């Protein structure tokens, strides 16, 4: 797989992020940017051409478009296709066909007491994301303009760097046993978040002991199965709050939570605002 290589530090610089939807039959516009354009498809398939090379980018996949190269939709989407986009700047880069198989291989120069170690990140131009919830969480934070009076605007560069490192690590394609269990558990919970999934159900589905599954998720993802399920639910709740006029009870039931009061309490704990306040903020942003 062709890769784009960056020498870090310093890291590329985050510029802006957003999201959009191509309706069935629509295609990407013809453009040439002076910066990198990272597109991550959440659902559907995007057909795009860059420099005479055509790509099909499906749900859970990303493509890294390079500055100075024309890109455009090669054909219309066959279904409604939702996606995130992210622009970042980096003048020093090169294209390569090899490298980037492990961290040791990426080490370019060892550090000293006065100079940092330098690495050469080698990101595939197109890749499949193993942890889509992490990607969506990072994008949601990078797009959040409701917290301009907090430290979030200053932390967006850090969140962006975490995203790049995540893509680099996943490109190694050598997950540990614990990572595989954690990702399998996360995938199962994403598919069944509307149901009452107990840790016993999860253990039975994955064929691992309950304690081991929980420990793997905590060590790899930093959350318990229950906390992960709630994150998935809150992500879906935000989508419903911004795209429908459904009442809180309906949204709570849709995401698998029977108690609207507990849903509102958990949403505020997670997002910092109540569901009603979030809907008002989003509606003002759309206007």
pLDDT (mean) for 195-211: 93
H/E element, 41: strand 36-43
Q: What is the pTM of this model?
A: 0.62
Residues of the chain within CATH 2.60.120.10 domain(s) are: 3-161
Domain 175-286 classified CATH 3.40.50.10860?
no
Q: What token pair was written down for 117?
A: 């170690």
Instruction: Report pLDDT digits (tens) over 161-185.
Output: 999 999 998 887 656 788 889 989 9
Cβ neighbours, 10 Å, residue 144 = 18
Please report which helix (H) or strand (E) contains residue 19, including its range: strand 13-22
pLDDT in tens, 130-171: 888 889 989 999 998 877 778 888 889 999 999 999 999 888
Whether residue 114 has pLDDT greater than 90: no
Q: Please state, for a pLDDT cut of 70, what percent of the chain lies above it.
A: 97
For residue range 180-200, what is the model confidence (pLDDT) as tens digits?
Answer: 899 899 999 999 999 989 999
Best CA proximity match to 1, nearest among 87, 61, 84, 70? 61
Nearest Cα neighbor of 40 from 193, 166, 175, 149 is 166
pLDDT exceeds cutoff 80 at 98: no
Per-residue pLDDT, 29: 92
pLDDT digits (tens, 9 = 90+) for 33-49: 999 999 999 999 999 99
Distances (CA, A) of 77 to 17, 28, 71, 73: 22, 9, 16, 9
| DSSP for residue 48 | E
pLDDT, position 87: 97
User: Would you state the pLDDT for residue 99?
Assistant: 64
Predicted pLDDT of residue 202: 94
Which pLDDT score is estimated for 109? 87
253 DSSP assignment: H
Instruction: Report residue 120 as tokens.
Output: 């050469």
SS3 (DSSP) at 56: strand
Confidence (pLDDT) at 100:
62
Q: What is the pLDDT of residue 19?
A: 94
Range list for CATH 1.10.10.60 in the chain: 175-286
Rounded to the nearest 10 degrees, the angle between the axes of helix 177-191 and helix 225-243 is: 40
What's the CATH code, domain 3-161? 2.60.120.10
State yes or no: pLDDT of 104 exceeds 80. no
């Amino acid at each position: 797989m062709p890769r784009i290589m960056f020498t870090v530090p310093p890291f590329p610089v985050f510029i802006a992020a957003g999201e959009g939807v191509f309706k069935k039959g629509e295609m990407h516009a013809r453009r040439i940017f002076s910066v990198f354009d990272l597109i991550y498809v959440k659902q559907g398939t995007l057909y795009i051409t860059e420099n005479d090379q055509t790509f099909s980018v499906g749900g859970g996949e990303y493509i890294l478009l390079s500055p100075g190269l024309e890109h455009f939709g090669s054909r219309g989407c066959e279904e409604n296709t939702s996606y995130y986009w992210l622009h970042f700047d980096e003048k020093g880069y090169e294209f390569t066909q090899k490298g980037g198989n492990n961290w040791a291989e990426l080490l370019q120069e060892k550090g000293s007491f006065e100079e940092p170690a330098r690495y050469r990140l080698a990101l595939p131009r197109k890749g499949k994301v193993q942890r889509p919830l992490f990607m969506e969480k990072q994008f949601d934070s990078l797009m959040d303009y409701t917290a301009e009076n907090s430290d979030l605007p200053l932390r967006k560069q850090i969140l962006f760097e975490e995203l790049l490192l995540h893509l680099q690590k996943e490109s190694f394609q050598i997950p540990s046993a614990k990572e595989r269990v954690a990702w399998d558990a996360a995938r199962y919970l994403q598919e069944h978040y509307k149901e009452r999934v107990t840790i016993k159900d999860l253990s039975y589905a994955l064929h691992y002991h309950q304690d081991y599954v929980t420990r793997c998720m905590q060590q790899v993802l930093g959350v318990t199965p229950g906390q992960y399920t709630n994150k998935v639910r809150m992500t879906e709740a935000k989508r419903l709050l911004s795209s429908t006029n459904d009442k809180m009870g309906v949204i709570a039931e849709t995401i698998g939570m029977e108690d609207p009061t507990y849903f509102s309490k958990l949403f505020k704990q997670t997002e910092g605002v109540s569901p009603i306040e979030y809907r008002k903020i989003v509606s003002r942003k759309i206007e």
